[in-house]
Amino acid sequence: MLNNVKLYFILVFIPLIFFACSATKAPLTPQQEADLLYDKAVQLQDLESYDEASAQFEEYVRRYPESISADNAKIQIANAYYQQGKYDEAINEYKDIIEKYPDSDAADHALISIGDVYFAQEKYSEAIEAYKKLIQKYPRFSVKLTVDAQDRIDAIKSIEEDLKIISQGNENEKDDAQYDIAEIYFKVFRNYERAKEEYQKVVDKWPKVNFLMMLYGVSQNAIGI
């Protein structure tokens, strides 16, 4: 309910304030108008009103294609697709950023985000290839994102090994493998909802392990199981 009130305020009252101010004061400069539009989009995204936010970001890019924030606006559009599970649209948007702004920070974020989208779909080979493209761009690991990309590659390989153990490995190793998967989602990908699901599998299948998790505060303090 509160989010709906905030959304109504953003969509209705902010434009009214803008017009009221413009009627009594000097007109806004083009940069001020651009900033107002961008800020409105950010506020909508903070309220998880992704469709409305994307529409505002798209309008921003259309009206201010040469702005220093145009690439960031497109990143936000792509991120919104990703957060909504619209993976194909997200990948297309990230690729468009790489093509239009190849030397920008946004392009680097788009590269690693493409890998994240593939990972979310459990397309591990495609995810690894996407991360490798970022590493190839900065072979000396001069950008922090390349370290993150390598960490993700290593994590995916660990997950693949863990899944093999769970499906056909030694029974005494399966709980550790499942716990490792949960830790990877939590620490490397920071996907806390998925981490919670993976930790819950440990709790359900290996209750004794849950006792150790509780000692470390993982299941209850970190993810709220």
pLDDT digits over 79-137, tens only? 999 999 999 999 999 999 999 999 999 999 999 999 999 999 999 999 999 999 999 99
Asked if pLDDT for residue 143 goes beyond 70, the answer is yes
- Sorted by sequence, the CB contacts under 8 Å of residue 141 that are 6+ apart come out as 135, 147, 150
Mean pLDDT across the stretch 144-160? 97
Position 206 scores a pLDDT of 85
Whole-structure pTM value: 0.81
Q: How would residue 219 be classed by pLDDT, with cut points 50, 70 and 90?
A: very low
